[in-house]
Every structure is written in structure tokens, then in C-alpha cells.
């Protein structure tokens, strides 16, 4: 296998609390922190991460996996992690892009962004909201300006994301500032019905957070911030009745003109897992949360001139109670045996079997990132189906 150079963490921006990110050029020193966060609500499905990066607000950094620090101008895949806008980190070993980079001759970039109240609080006079989205935008700008030094082609960037990361990509498509920063997109199990909250509702929930905190959010300690986030999440559950809906999500950014201009000519691959919702007991069904909203979004994309393909993953690992659940495609694409050991959603499947399917699926993703075309041949006979809507 090709030897991979893993570089990072590299700082792409700095940010004061509740302030927009400020760009940093080149390879600046980084703390290696991920955004402060509570334990993931999907620990029972994925298992908790085995690596424990430090947590802190100096978290705007990224990591790069590349086959060579040369002038190779390889396709670039920028990964936006999931976690309900409240947990996760692009630096986690789950998202190691080494195998994808080596097998596909790609440059894979994993991005950290601000989470929870620090990234998505919307409260008049305190936070404008959508700061995590602004972080992602700044990371894409950094990639455009710097990735050539890491063997990547800044004119051939695919942005890929799962769950909240997929929602983020959907919202980046509305931002005029994102135009030209990527030419392809992959949305994995993005629950688009939870994408945004109207500003009025977001402000009310922001006030719930402020009341729970009981002190100035701009100076409160991280422990107090996380405790207030928990209280806000409980209130949000009581108000919404939806156990899946995060307390802190982006506020509505809808810009129909920018959307049409941004996605015209874009290549988009989207999909979901057949049993996504087994990860969220008590919530609605997979068709309602994933398949339906994604199909409606695909119609909008096609109407605006994008090329669109879809997939559905039906892989149900033997010995897993969760079936083809939320996040089960992640070990097929990213991470290592060590990162995914003892993951409940993988059941009793030997890693060799996971990796064999993963090698085939990574080939499909790499082809899409390279050329915007979908070639399902490597996964023929595997439990995944594709459809071309172009």
C-alpha cells in the first residue's frame, strides 16, 4: 500500500468566544484540541472513541492524509464529521483518512469546528449563531489556499460529511461565500428536516441556555457551559417531543438565489442507511427522517442544474442488534481496526470482512471525488444500491 503522510493538526483559523473565525495562513502551530463536548449520545451504537484529544476552545484545526508532499495535484476530499452539532472531531481516529487516501490516491482533510453553544448559540447581543458553519467555510478557504503544498488540487475539492456534517454541506450550498470552494459533495445520512431552526425559535432556546447558565456566557467556564447545554437539551426535548432534535443547530440561512448559483454544475452523491433510525429509539422512521427529505432535496438539486446520484446501504453486520444503522458506513470509509475495535454496531464481523467491503466502497467514493462519476462496479454483489438521477 502507498505510504501515507499524515500531517497535523494544523491551525486554519483562530476565534474568540462567540466571534467569527479569523483566517490563519500556512502551517501554523496548533493546540490539537477538539471543541468542548459532552459524551456522544451514540456511544451505545458506535462505542466511545478510543483516543481522547484534549478539549478546548482553541479547536480550529485540521489534519491531512496525503500520498505525498509533492506537486501531484490529487483530488481532495474534505471531511465534516457528524455528532448532532454537539460532539465529535475531525481529528478523531475514527476519521483517519489514510486508507482512503492511499487506495484512491486522494488527499483527505479532516476538519474540527465549534460545537454546541460555542458553535451554534443564537442569542441577541451574545452570539450571532452559525459560528460552526463559519468555521467550516474558513477551513475550505484554507484548503483552497494551501492544499497544493500537500499534493492536492485546489480546483478539485469534494466536501463530504455524515449526519450533522451532511447537513452542514447542505447549508454551505446556500452561502454565496462558499461558491467555488468545492465542485462535488457527498452527503451521508443527513437528516435534512433537522437542518435549521427559525431565528425566533433559536433566540428563545438561546434564552433558555442563558437562564440555565445564570452568568455571562462570554466569560463562563467550560464546565458551566456544558452543564447549561445539558439543561437546554432537556428543555428542547420537552418542547419538541423529538428525541433526535439537537438543542443547538444552525439558524435558517436559506438563500434561494445563492443556492441555484452554487449548485449549478455541482456533482452530488447522497444516501442513507436502511436502518438509520435504530440509533434513535422513540424517534420517527428512516423513510420519514432520511429518505423522503433527501429525495426532495435531490429534486431541488436537479432543478438547479446539479448532477445527482443516490445510494442506500443495507449492510447489517452479523451479531449487531442495530442492523444497517446510523454511522455503520463510517468504518467502511474511514478509520482503522484499532479505532473501531469493539464497536457495538459492527457486531461480530471480523475486521478482514469490514475492510474487504470498505476497500470496495472506498473505490466508489474515490472515483466520485476524482471525476464526479459513479462507478458501482467495485461493490457489485454487496449490500448497497445506487441510482443515477442525472
Q: How confident is the model at residue 1 (pLDDT cuts 50, 70, 90)?
A: low
Question: What digits encode the pLDDT tens for the residues 269-327?
Answer: 999 999 999 999 988 899 999 999 999 999 999 999 999 999 999 999 999 999 999 99
Question: What digits encode the pLDDT tens for the residues 189-218?
Answer: 999 999 899 999 999 999 999 999 999 999
Q: Which grid coordinates are listed for 289?
A: 427522517
pLDDT value, residue 221: 98
pLDDT value, residue 25: 81
pLDDT value, residue 2: 82
Per-residue pLDDT for 262 more than 70? yes
Measure Cα distances from 289 to 195, 285, 299, 368 in Å: 11, 6, 17, 25
Per-residue pLDDT for 389 more than 60? no
Segment 83-91 mean pLDDT: 97
Q: What mean pLDDT is reported for the chain?
A: 95
- Going 253 to 257 to 262 to 267, the CA torsion angle's sign is positive
pLDDT value, residue 390: 46
Q: How many domains does the chain have?
A: 1
pLDDT value, residue 92: 97
pLDDT value, residue 379: 97
- pTM recorded for the entire structure: 0.97
CATH number at residue 86: 3.40.50.1820
Per-residue pLDDT for 21 more than 70? yes
Supply the range of the domain harboring residue 226.
5-388
Asked if 16 contacts 141 with a C-beta cutoff of 8 angstroms, the reply is no
Measure Cα distances from 222 to 33, 121, 252, 352 in Å: 14, 14, 27, 41
Amino acid at each position: 500500500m502507498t505510504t501515507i503522510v499524515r500531517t497535523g493538526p494544523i491551525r486554519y483559523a483562530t476565534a474568540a468566544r462567540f466571534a467569527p473565525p479569523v483566517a490563519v495562513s500556512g502551517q501554523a502551530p496548533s493546540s490539537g484540541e477538539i471543541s468542548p463536548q459532552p459524551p456522544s449520545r451514540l456511544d451505545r451504537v458506535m462505542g466511545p472513541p478510543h483516543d481522547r484529544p484534549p478539549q478546548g476552545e482553541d479547536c480550529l484545526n485540521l489534519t491531512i492524509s496525503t500520498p505525498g508532499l509533492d506537486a501531484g495535484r490529487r483530488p481532495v476530499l474534505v471531511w465534516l464529521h457528524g455528532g448532532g452539532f454537539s460532539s465529535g472531531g475531525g481529528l478523531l481516529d475514527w476519521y483517519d483518512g489514510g486508507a482512503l487516501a492511499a487506495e484512491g490516491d486522494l488527499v483527505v482533510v479532516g476538519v474540527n469546528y465549534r460545537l454546541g453553544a460555542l458553535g451554534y448559540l443564537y442569542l441577541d447581543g451574545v452570539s450571532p449563531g452559525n459560528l460552526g458553519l463559519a468555521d467550516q467555510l474558513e477551513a475550505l478557504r484554507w484548503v483552497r489556499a494551501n492544499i497544493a503544498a500537500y499534493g492536492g488540487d485546489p480546483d478539485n475539492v469534494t466536501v463530504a460529511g455524515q449526519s450533522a456534517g451532511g447537513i452542514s454541506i447542505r447549508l454551505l450550498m446556500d452561502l454565496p461565500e462558499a461558491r467555488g470552494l468545492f465542485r462535488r459533495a457527498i452527503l451521508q445520512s443527513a437528516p435534512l428536516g433537522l437542518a435549521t431552526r427559525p431565528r425566533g425559535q433559536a433566540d428563545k432556546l438561546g434564552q433558555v441556555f442563558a437562564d440555565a447558565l445564570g452568568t455571562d456566557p462570554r466569560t463562563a467556564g467550560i464546565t458551566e457551559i456544558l452543564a447549561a447545554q445539558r439543561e437546554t437539551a432537556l428543555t428542547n426535548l420537552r418542547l419538541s417531543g423529538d428525541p433526535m432534535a439537537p438543542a443547538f443547530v444552525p439558524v435558517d440561512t436559506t438563500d434561494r438565489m445563492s443556492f441555484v448559483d452554487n449548485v449549478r454544475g455541482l456533482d452530488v452523491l447522497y444516501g442513507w442507511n436502511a436502518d438509520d433510525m435504530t440509533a434513535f429509539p422513540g424517534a420517527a422512521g428512516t423513510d420519514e427522517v432520511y429518505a423522503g427529505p433527501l429525495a426532495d432535496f435531490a429534486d431541488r438539486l436537479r432543478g438547479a442544474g446539479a448532477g445527482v446520484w443516490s445510494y442506500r446501504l443495507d449492510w447489517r453486520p452479523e451479531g449487531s442488534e442495530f442492523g444497517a444503522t446510523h454511522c455503520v458506513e463510517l468504518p467502511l470509509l474511514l478509520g482503522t481496526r484499532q479505532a473501531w475495535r469493539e464497536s457495538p454496531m459492527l457486531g461480530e464481523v471480523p475486521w478482514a470482512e469490514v475492510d474487504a467491503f470498505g476497500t470496495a466502497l472506498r473505490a466508489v467514493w474515490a472515483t466520485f471525488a476524482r471525476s464526479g462519476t459513479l462507478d458501482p462496479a467495485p461493490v457489485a454483489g454487496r449490500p448497497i444500491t445506487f441510482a443515477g438521477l442525472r
